[in-house]
């Protein structure tokens, strides 16, 4: 089984060699495989968009990324990949991708919300900035899970700063997570950005509740779909009609 993680952002670090970028890519894959606890025989690889934003923190950023995301997912299907995971909690382009391919396309937001909903009566999302709260609430409505969403809180740290200031990020997650539990009535927490990958375990130990890590959840969800030979319904996501498209 081959699962491909499609990065929804453009990352072009200055002064870094191709060899170093490849080493970082391999290290990242190994770290994600370990966190995701994949079954033997499941292969994981990555692909990145070539045009778009450096991070997604608004609907504008999301729109800029979607054409390249769709292109990368179509490319993955042609290459024989079994499923794709879009590496962004906003799930940009997931529904559009499902219209043009037959393989499972999984979004971290949808996967983690569905998982959390099965673990509790009410859950909260702890995300990056206030201006993405509306996007997450909108997705919860689309996925039919608004009634279980206790709150969406923000740590007010931009995506690109999450790991540069990891101690600050973890303190802020702990503070907002505690408020979600004590003030909002949440029983489970979800990390609201795939840039927070790997931070769930410590937060869960500190707060004594399950904390859902969205990217590993989406990867595992994709693995289950492929194992069960399931994919999205073409009644829900029909093939777009044939026409000229001027791109």
- Give me the domains of the chain, ranges plus CATH numbers: 2-107+218-227 (3.40.50.1860), 109-214 (3.40.50.12500)
Predicted pLDDT at 179? 98
CA angle 107, 113, 115 (to 5 degrees): 100
Predicted pLDDT at 16? 58
Predicted pLDDT at 172? 96
3-class secondary-structure state, position 27: helix
Predicted pLDDT at 21? 66
Distance, in Å, from the CA atom of 218 to the CA atom of 222, rounded to the nearest integer, reads: 6
Buried b (16+ CB within 10 A) or exposed e, 19-44: eeeeeeeeeeeeebbebbebeeebeb
Predicted pLDDT at 70? 97
Task: List the one residue out of 230, 231, 222, 229 whose CA is nearest residue 38.
Answer: 222
Predicted pLDDT at 15? 60
Predicted pLDDT at 246? 85
Beta-carbon contacts of residue 130 (< 8 Å; ≥ 6 apart): 154, 156
Predicted pLDDT at 20? 67
Task: List the one residue out of 199, 245, 240, 243 whose CA is nearest residue 99.
Answer: 240
* Token pair listed for 219: 């990867």
pLDDT along the chain (247 residues), means of 10: 94 64 75 84 92 94 96 98 97 98 98 98 97 97 97 95 88 97 98 93 96 96 97 97 88
Beta-carbon contacts of residue 3 (< 8 Å; ≥ 6 apart): 42, 43, 44, 45, 81, 82, 83, 84, 85, 219, 222, 223, 226
Predicted pLDDT at 68? 96
Distance, in Å, from the CA atom of 181 to the CA atom of 163, rounded to the nearest integer, reads: 24
């Amino acid at each position: 089984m081959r699962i491909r993680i499609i990065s929804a952002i453009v990352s072009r670090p200055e002064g870094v060699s191709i060899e170093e970028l490849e080493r970082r890519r391999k290290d990242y894959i190994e770290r994600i495989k370990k966190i995701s606890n994949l079954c033997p025989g499941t292969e994981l690889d990555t692909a990145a968009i070539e045009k778009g934003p450096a991070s997604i923190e608004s609907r504008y950023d999301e729109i800029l990324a979607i054409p390249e995301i769709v292109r990368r997912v179509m490319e993955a299907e042609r290459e024989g990949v079994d499923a794709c995971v879009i590496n962004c909690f906003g799930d940009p382009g997931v529904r559009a991708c499902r219209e043009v391919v037959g393989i499972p396309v999984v979004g971290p937001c949808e996967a983690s919300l569905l998982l959390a909903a099965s673990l509790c009566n009410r859950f909260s999302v702890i995300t990056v900035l206030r201006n993405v709260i509306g996007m997450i609430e909108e997705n919860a409505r689309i996925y039919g899970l608004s009634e279980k969403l206790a709150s969406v809180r923000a740590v007010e740290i931009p995506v690109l700063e999450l790991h540069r200031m990891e101690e600050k990020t973890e303190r802020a997650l702990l503070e907002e997570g505690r408020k979600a539990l004590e003030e909002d009535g949440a029983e489970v927490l979800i990390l609201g950005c795939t840039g927070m990958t790997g931070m769930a375990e410590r937060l869960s130990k500190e707060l004594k509740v399950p904390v859902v890590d969205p990217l590993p959840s989406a990867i595992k969800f994709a693995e289950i779909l492929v194992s069960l030979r399931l994919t999205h319904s073409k009644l829900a996501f029909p093939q777009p009609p044939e026409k000229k498209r001027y791109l």
